[in-house]
Amino acid sequence: MLFLKRDFFSVLNSGLFVLLIALLSGCGEVENSNLRRKVYIEKKDGRYTLYKDGKPFFIKGASGYSYGSVLKASGGNTFRTWDTTRLAVVLDSALANDLSVIVGFYLPDYHETAFFEDPGQVAQMHKAYQNVVNRFKHHPSLLMWSVGNEVILPYNPSYNNFYTVFNSLVDMVHRDDPDHPVTTVLLNFDQKSIFNLVLRCDVDILSFNIYSRINTLRDDLAAIKWLWSGPYMLSEWGINGPWGGTEQTAWGAYLELNSSEKAALCMTRYRQYMPLEDSRFFGSCLFYWGHKQEGTHTWFSLFDEAGALSETVGTMRFLWTGKSSQNEFPVVKSLLLNSKKAKDNILLTPNTPAVAALSASGEGIKTIKWQLFKEDWLRINNRAGTQKLTPMPQLNKSSTEAEITFTVPEEEGPYRLFATIYNNRGNYATCNIPFYVVSPQ
């Protein structure tokens, strides 16, 4: 059921085409065909419903592939991946935890014309993904396929090769695996890309990666309903990232919320801005269910490297199940450096003492891990670096003290001080503060 083209066609033809198909095919046959599928979309009385194994399925998901048992215990039901790395392990692990998986196919950006104009590379990619589809299409945990991530769909005819490749992949999946729908992922609510997708492509569901713009999502959907009114989901949502629109220091270091602020923001965004009432909405996936470096090692991570849980995990459990997480996590109130806040553009002199003071609360605080890192300024294609950093020897210790003194590094440049608080439950909270070392000479 290709709702993008069908909906647009019905706008142009006043529903006559849909009526003709219904008369020729028979509604009963269409319904029986759906019932034989593992995953399908039904439209009834203006409402779209996603079905899996014959039952309505609303996505309570997370972007990632690890800690499946925690996701299940928190009330979640779906993982969303970006590529096919270790896909067999991911699917089997999901099955063991009664979870479903949205499997992503990596696709080069449209402007990488050398790739799309090379028949050999295109054929190799197409064959590789076709092999994946046919290998895993019967896996019980498979929910749907996703072609591309944060895809931009251009107007210019010079990018026709991109559309040819994109549509070829979508058509292949529809042909080889009619049991599972196909989606693609757009960055934010890009009306131009939606327009081009409706005109030139044929996916079943639209997915959006939306962060700060989630508060305008309802208005954005209403504004384009004349063109597209099909089903959709949020493939990524969460806190604002280390990118444009996020507050920075004078030297360009992004200011990161502490873990308690992140949990509160996720609570607000889900309750106030998630379009749960929309009959076209299939659900969402929070970013990021795991541990990763992006800007910092704590920015998006909902778990630490050892698998400890942050407060946002408890927040999602409450939102999905109603079970309270009160008193389960340490709560960060503030982190000061020489009595200054992160937004105060802290400048320090080399080889001088500096005092960090943490204010936190919660039951059973056990230890505080203090670490100092050089600022991660690595940018690839204007995106935050993902390379794991090593803490500096000047400060890398655990203690029970909420106030410490350390020696400022000798080398000029940007740094970031981290405090990670653990309680007796093994859960944690985290915060950090950037500063710049300036030589007096």
Distance separating alpha carbons of residues 140 and 138, to the nearest angstrom: 6
What per-residue confidence (pLDDT) applies to 17?
A: 33
Express as a percent the part of the chain with pLDDT over 70: 90
Nearest to 144, CA basis, from 106, 107, 182, 174:
182
369 and 385 in contact (C-beta within 8 Å)?
no
Under the banding of pLDDT at 50, 70 and 90, the label for residue 440 is: confident
Q: Cα 88–92–97 angle (5° rounding)?
A: 150
The residues, ordered by sequence, that sit 6+ positions from 83 with a Cβ below 8 Å of its Cβ are: 104, 105, 106
Whether the per-residue pLDDT at 23 is higher than 80: the answer is no
Distance separating alpha carbons of residues 183 and 209, to the nearest angstrom: 13
**Whole-Å CA distances, 120 to 74, 111, 114, 125, 429:** 45, 18, 11, 9, 49
Provide Rg for the chain, Cα atoms.
24
What per-residue confidence (pLDDT) applies to 441?
A: 75
- What is the full DSSP assignment across 275-326? -TT-TTEEEEEEEEES---BSBSSSS-SB-TT-PBPHHHHHHHHHHH----T
Q: What is the number of alpha carbons within 13 Å of residue 77 lying toward its C-beta?
A: 12
Beta strands per DSSP E along 295-427: 331-337, 347-348, 353-361, 365-374, 379-380, 383-384, 396-399, 403-407, 413-423
The residues, ordered by sequence, that sit 6+ positions from 20 with a Cβ below 8 Å of its Cβ are: none
Mean pLDDT across 214-237:
97
Residue written as tokens 């142009």? 12
- For residue range 417-437, list pLDDT tens digits in order: 999 999 999 999 999 999 999
> With the C-alpha atoms ordered 309, 315, 320, 324, is the resulting torsion angle positive or negative?
positive
Strand partners, 379: 384
Under the banding of pLDDT at 50, 70 and 90, the label for residue 383 is: low
Whether the per-residue pLDDT at 10 is higher than 60: the answer is no
Domains identified in the chain and CATH numbers:
3-237 (3.20.20.80), 331-437 (2.60.40.10)
Whether the per-residue pLDDT at 16 is higher than 90: the answer is no
Whether the pTM exceeds 0.85: the reply is: yes
Whether the per-residue pLDDT at 12 is higher than 60: the answer is no
Nearest to 257, CA basis, from 341, 367, 372, 354:
341
Distance separating alpha carbons of residues 250 and 341, to the nearest angstrom: 14
- For residue range 102-127, list pLDDT tens digits in order: 999 999 999 999 999 999 999 999 99
